[in-house]
Amino acid sequence: MKYKKWKRILLATGASLALLAMAGCTGTSGGDKASSGNETTESEPGAMESSSVQEGGDKTDQEVESMDYAEIFKGMKLVKSYKGLQNNNPIIEQHYGADPFALVYDDTVYFYMTADAYEYDAAGEIKENTYGKIRSLYVVSTKDMINFTDHGEITIAGEGGATKWAHNSWAPAAAWKEIDGKPKFFLYFADNGGGIGVVTSDSPVGPFVDELGHGLIRRDMENCGNVEWLFDPAVFVDDDGKAYIYFGGGVPKGLAAHPMTARCAQLGDDMMSLVDVPKVIDAPYLFEDSGIHKYGDTYYYTYCSNFSVDKAGTDEYGMENGEICVMESKNPLGPFTFKERILRNPGYYWGVGGNNHHAIFQFKDQWYITYHTRMLETEQQIQKGYRSTSIDEFTMGEDGTIGDVRMTKNGRKQVGRLNPYETINGATFAVMGGVDTAPADEVSKKYGCGNLLLTAINSGDFVKLQGADFGDKGATVVKATVKTNGKDGVIRVTAKSDAKELTAYLPVKADGAESTVCEAKFDEAVTGICDIFITFSGEGYEVKDWIFE
C-alpha cells in the first residue's frame, strides 16, 4: 500500500465475530427502515439495523441470524475516506498517482500515472519525495468517469522492470494503433530527465515488454542534447493514422521568457522511431509538461509555465507561475502561437502548490482535463510532495477557446451508469476507506499489473460504487467471490437511492477452499439508480468480484 492507514477507527461495539460461528455462505437481509447508528467522521453509508432487530416477539432462526449480523455493524465506526463520500477528486485514494495521461480505448478511459511512493529516512519517517526511486507507473480505468478499476503498477525501470537499461519511469503517455490487424498499445515514459523510452503490449493494462531495447529519444540524437530536461512525453495519433510525440522542458539561465526546450516530432509507423529531427517549440515561459489535443482542424499544444514569470510575461500572456497554458497551430508540428492560460497552479486552489502536470482528452462527447494535486497527502497530514490525480470537465469553445478551468473536489458528472448485472471487479470503486488492492493472479503477481482484487480488509473498511442502474425489474441477490485466507467475516451491502435503502449481509465462512462464492438476498428487489455501500467486518479475507442478480 502506498500510504499508511492513518487514523483507523475500529469497531465501537461489543459484538463479537464469534456470532459468525453459525454462518454458512448464505446470508440474510435487513429491511429498508432503520436508525442511523452512531455518528462517525463521515456520514456512515448504509448504516442501518435490520427490521428484525426489534424488541419483543418470537424470532425465527433466519430472523435471529439477521439480528446477529445487524448487531455486528451497529455502532461500527467507518475508516475515514480522505476525499469524502460525495467528492470525486482525487480519483483514487489507495495509491498516489502523478503526471496523469489519458488513453481512450473501447469505451473506456485508461489513466497512466507516475507511481509516487513513500521514501523513508533512517528513523523510518516519511521524507520529502525526491522522485529518484520511482521505477513503475500506475494504471486505472473507468467507463463512467466516477467508478475506477485499479489495474496496479506497471514495473518499468531497473532489474525488476521491463526496461533493464532505464533508471526511472516518470510522466507516462500512451497511445494505441492497429498493427497487422490487431490493436497494439504503446506506453512512453521519461527516464528521469535523460531520455524517453517506450514499452509495448497487446493490452492497455499489460504486461508490457521492451521491444526496442534502448531509449526512443536520447541525448545523442540531433536537436535533443541541448534540451535541459529530456522528459514529459505526450503522444497523439491523428485522424490519418500519423502519430506525433511532444517532449522536453527546463529553463536555461537567462532564458526564462523563451527557454526553447520543448520539442515535437513525427513518429514512425511502428510508433517506436522518429521520422525526422525533432523541431523546437517556442513556448513562452515553458517549464515542462507537454500536452497535445486536436479540435476541428486545429492542434493545441499545452504546457506548464515556469516559476520565473515576470510582470512582462503576465501582461503579455496572462499567465503566472506554474500554470497550464495553450498554444495553437494548423499543423501538428507547428509553428504554434500562444492562445491562453487555462489552469492555475494547484496552490491557488488548495494552498499547497508544486509542479503542475496535465493531459486533455475527450470522452463520450465531453472534454476533460486531468492533473495532479497534493490534496490527498494534505488530508493525510503529510505534505511531503506526494501527488494524486484529479479530473475536471470543460467546454471547448467554437473558436477553440477553453477559458479558465477550475480545480474542484466534486470533479465531474457521471457519464453512463455502472451495470450491476455484469461482474464488477473487486478493485473497482468510486470511494474507499481503509482497503487496498493487490494482484489477483499469476500474471499480475509477476508483472504487477492486470487483474487485481480488494485486500487489506479490516472491520470498518468500506467501498462505495456510485450510480448503479438496477432498472425497473431490479435485483434480489448479491454475490461476492471471496478469497477467505482462512478468515471469517461479514460483508454488509447497502443499495441506497433517493427512495429507499435495502441491505443484505453476506457471511464469509472459511471452509478450506481457496475461494468461495458468498451470496445474500434483499428483502425486496433493488430497483432504479442506486449507490452501493459495502462495509466490512472481520479481517484477512479478500474480494475478487461482485455481481447482482
How high is the pLDDT of residue 512?
Answer: 74
Of 288, 392, 501, 531, which residue is the catalytic one? 288
Q: Using the predicted structure, report yes or no on whether residue 97 has a pLDDT greater than 90.
A: yes
Determine, yes or no, domain membership for 394. no
Domain end residue (candidates: 295, 318, 339): 339
Mean pLDDT of the 234-248 span: 98
140 and 83, same domain (yes or no): no
The answer on pLDDT for 397 being more than 80 is yes
* Claim to verify: residue 331 and residue 424 sit in the same structural domain: no
356 located within any domain: no
432-482 pLDDT, tens digit each: 999 999 999 999 999 999 999 999 999 999 999 999 999 999 999 999 999
**204 in a structural domain:** yes
DSSP one-letter string for 308-368: ---HHHHHHH---TT-EEEEEESSTT---EEEEEEE--HHHHHS------EEEEEETTEEE
Together in a domain, 127 and 55: no
In this structure, the answer to whether residues 256 and 278 fall within a common structural domain is: yes
Q: Indicate whether 71 and 129 sit together in one domain.
A: no
91 or 55: whose pLDDT is higher? 91
Residues 22 and 133 in one domain: no
Average pLDDT for 485-508: 95
**Which of 339, 369, 386 delimits the end of a domain?**
339
Mean pLDDT of 119-141: 97
315 belongs to the catalytic site: no
The reported pLDDT for the residue numbered 66 is 54
Residue 510 resides in a domain: yes
Number of structural domains in the chain: 2
Question: Do both 334 and 280 map to the same domain?
Answer: yes
- pLDDT of amino acid 38: 31
Q: Which three cell numbers stand for residue 63?
A: 430472523
Instruction: Judge if 429 and 453 occupy the same domain.
Output: yes
Asked whether 484 and 515 are in contact (CB, 8 A), the reply is yes
515, burial (CB in 10 Å: exposed 0-12, middle 13-18, buried 19+)? middle
* pLDDT recorded at residue 49: 33
Question: So what's the pLDDT on residue 513?
Answer: 78
Q: Residue 58 sits in a domain of what CATH number?
A: 2.60.120.260
Residue-range definition of the domain harbouring residue 197 = 98-339
Per-residue pLDDT reduced to its tens digit, 47-75:
433 322 233 344 444 444 555 899 999 99
Kindly report the CATH number assigned to the domain that includes residue 111.
Answer: 2.115.10.20
- Three-state SS string over 482-531 comes to EECCCCCEEEEEEEECCCCEEEEEEEECCCCCCCEEEEEEEEEEECCEEE
Look over the chain and give the mean of its residue pLDDT values, rounded to a whole number.
90
Catalytic residue among 44, 99, 392, 523: 99
Do 138 and 79 reside in the same domain of the chain? no
Q: Is residue 393 part of a domain?
A: no
pLDDT band of residue 15 (cuts 50, 70, 90) is very low
For residue 292, pLDDT beyond 80 = yes
| Position 296 in a domain | yes
Residue whose C-alpha cell is 471487479: 425
In a domain, 347, yes or no: no
Does residue 210 have an active-site annotation? no
Q: 161 and 257 in one domain?
A: yes
Q: Is the pLDDT of residue 88 over 50?
A: yes
Distance of CA 310 to the CA centre of its chain: 35
Residues 48 and 171 in one domain: no
Domain boundary (299, 319, 339) is at 339
- The reply to whether 509 and 539 lie within a common domain is yes
The reported pLDDT for the residue numbered 28 is 47
Tell me, yes or no, whether 400 lies in a domain. no
